[in-house]
Amino acid sequence: MGPIPLYILLLVTVLTVVVAVTTEENRVDDQYTWPQWKVPLVRKRRTVPLSSPNFSAHPQQELSGTCGIECQRRLPSPSLNDLEQFLSYETVYENGTRTYTSISVHGLNEVTIRSKNTSSSSRHKRELYGTDTRFTIADKQYSTKYPFSTSVKISTGCSGVLVSPKHVLTAAHCIHDGKDYLDGVQKLRVGILKEKSRRGKGGKGRGGKEKGKRRKGGRGKEEALEKEENVGKGDTKGRGKGKKIRSRRSVDSGKPSFKWTRVKQTQIPKGWFKGVSNGLTADYDYAILELKRAPKVNYMDLGVIPSIKKLPAGRIHFSGFDDDRPGNLVYRFCSVSEESKDLLYQYCDAKPGSSGSGVYIRLKEPGKKKWKRKIIGVFSGHQWVDVNGDGMQQDYNVAVRITPLKYAQICYWVHGDSSECQVA
Ligand SMILES: *[C@@H]1O[C@H](CO)[C@@H](O)[C@H](O)[C@H]1NC(C)=O
Ligand SMILES: *[C@@H]1O[C@H](CO)[C@@H](O)[C@H](O)[C@H]1NC(C)=O
Ligand SMILES: *[C@@H]1O[C@H](CO)[C@@H](O)[C@H](O)[C@H]1NC(C)=O
């Protein structure tokens, strides 16, 4: 990126403050419903074949030197040209071949502002990780039900989330180290938690004994865990203090097992590759995997939200397969500490293995009573983030946000047709 003319800077600044077009403005409960967005269009320019990758990279446990929110504030905003570069992408097929597709972006400037302030960068005091706020969802009664059932394991050691009947969103670093594809990518597989347990193994009274109990499924479980945690803390923001409820952190009854499905193709934005977007690499740590066969499991929609910290609880949720609890799905929620247009910092407890998890929030759809969960980010993982540009680093848990533009790109990857991707 060279010097950027002022008018482009101004244009981009305006564009980045993209806004929700809600039906009615300024009504209090409207602020708590999913906004509707008109998103830009991502169109394919052309696709060219590339040489097959070497598949020689090794998985990284932790990323360091990430240019985070503070560091990115000093960078010029990318121009439309830059954005088109960063969102152009590589596809790797099951047979090991690779293509490069350049894209164009349309209608960035048609995304207009409608009243709501979307920028938010008020600084909060740094929060410590404090108590471990993770819950193992070991009971299949819950882990194989929505929303937990949307979480999948990636064979390279990460997590991911189903965002269509057969597409998984994960982190780019789970597939590619910036220079090459990981050695496991040629035989990439995705594990979905199996509903049926093997018969006769510790299944005493299964079914019969539980008849009297109310079966609430995953949704009820998620809300119950959250409520329990809030009671313990007496704090709706979920901040560190308060009583620990460790004893109930693990809901155990039989280890889950996976059904593995092969990945047909993998797409990664060029912005992730070394030397392309420089300080903005962290913004492009996402990838889409298309499965060979659609598992019969619900998926979660993608969503775009202007500011999470301005929501009532400002709370995000995600579930993944943390390394320290092998084979178990681990659920957690927490408040966002800092957000920019492209990144989220939070101190949700998370271990390697949960990278790539889908970060979601719950809001109501206008006029509806029930929660609607949507994926608003991808968990990148614990990272050492450059804060001052002078080598000073701080550790954060970083997630990549789904911006309107990224929504458009991912939607295009999933549908192969940008006309289906005009409203988020
Ligand atoms: C693959 O490895 C060879 C030799 O190590 C190197 O010359 C080549 O550039 C690599 N190709 C890719 C696509 O990384
Ligand atoms: C590999 O798979 C892709 C997509 O299915 C196909 O277009 C391409 O021709 C295949 N290449 C080889 C060498 O089989
Ligand atoms: C938007 O933010 C500005 C200052 O940043 C404030 O003066 C204004 O009242 C806000 N508008 C709304 C609708 O919240």
In the chain, the number of structural domains is 1
Cβ 43 vs Cβ 409: under 8 Å: no
Please give the residue that has the higher pLDDT: either 127 or 184. 184
Whose alpha carbon is nearest atom 13 of ligand 3? 116
Least confident of 116-120, 134-138, 290-294: 116-120
pLDDT at 1 over 50: no
pLDDT 10s digits, 354-377: 999 999 999 888 778 888 999 999
pTM score: 0.80
Cβ 198 vs Cβ 182: under 8 Å: no
The answer to whether residue 408 is domain-embedded is yes
The answer to whether residue 166 is domain-embedded is yes
Query: Which of 25, 117, 307 for mutating ligand 3's site (highest number of atoms within 8 Å of CB)?
Result: 117
**Vertex 286: Cα angle to 285 and 292 (nearest 5):** 150
Measured in Å, residue 56 CA sits from the centre of ligand 1 at 9
Mean pLDDT of 199-216: 43
Average predicted confidence (pLDDT) for the chain: 79
Q: Please give the Cα distance from 410 to 204 (Å, whole number).
A: 45
**CATH code of the domain covering residue 410:** 2.40.10.10
Share of the chain above pLDDT 70, in %: 75
Measured in Å, residue 292 CA sits from the centre of ligand 2 at 14
The answer to whether residue 202 is domain-embedded is no
State the pLDDT confidence band at 224, using cuts at 50, 70 and 90.
confident
Please give the residue that has the higher pLDDT: either 107 or 284. 284
The answer to whether residue 276 is domain-embedded is yes
Model pLDDT, residue 345: 92
Q: Which residues line ligand 2 (CB under 6 A)?
A: 93, 95, 97
Measured in Å, residue 368 CA sits from the centre of ligand 1 at 54
Measured in Å, residue 47 CA sits from the centre of ligand 2 at 13
pLDDT 10s digits, 144-156: 889 999 999 999 9
Whose alpha carbon is nearest atom 10 of ligand 3? 117
pLDDT at 6 over 60: no
Starting from the CA of residue 266, give the closest ligand: 2
Both tokens of residue 159? 């997590």
pLDDT at 77 over 80: yes
The answer to whether residue 331 is domain-embedded is yes
Both tokens of residue 332? 């957690």
State the pLDDT confidence band at 230, using cuts at 50, 70 and 90.
low
The answer to whether residue 207 is domain-embedded is no
Starting from the CA of residue 115, give the closest ligand: 3
**Cis peptide bond N-terminal to 147, omega within 30:** yes
Please give the residue that has the higher pLDDT: either 279 or 115. 279
Q: Which of 189, 409, 359 has the alpha carbon at shortest distance from 289? A: 189
Nearest-atom number in ligand 3 for the CA of 115 is 13
Nearest-atom number in ligand 1 for the CA of 50 is 13
Measured in Å, residue 97 CA sits from the centre of ligand 2 at 6
What is the residue range of 246's domain?
17-116+131-193+216-420
Which residues make Cβ contacts (< 8 Å) with residue 53, sequence separation at least 6? 92, 96, 98, 180, 181, 185
274 CB under 6 A from ligand 1?
A: no
The answer to whether residue 306 is domain-embedded is yes
The answer to whether residue 8 is domain-embedded is no
Whose alpha carbon is nearest atom 3 of ligand 1? 54
Q: Please give the Cα distance from 225 to 238 (Å, whole number).
A: 12
Which three-class secondary structure state does DSSP give residue 19?
coil
Q: Please give the Cα distance from 211 to 215 (Å, whole number).
A: 9
Q: Which of 278, 266, 358, 372 has the alpha carbon at shortest distance from 316? A: 358
Give me the half-sphere count of Cα atoms (radius 13 Å) on the Cβ side of residue 43: 8
Cβ 14 vs Cβ 111: under 8 Å: no
Mean pLDDT of 98-117: 73
Q: Which residues line ligand 3 (CB under 6 A)?
A: 115, 117
Where would I find the beta strands (DSSP E) of 84-128?
A: 89-93, 98-106
Starting from the CA of residue 97, give the closest ligand: 2
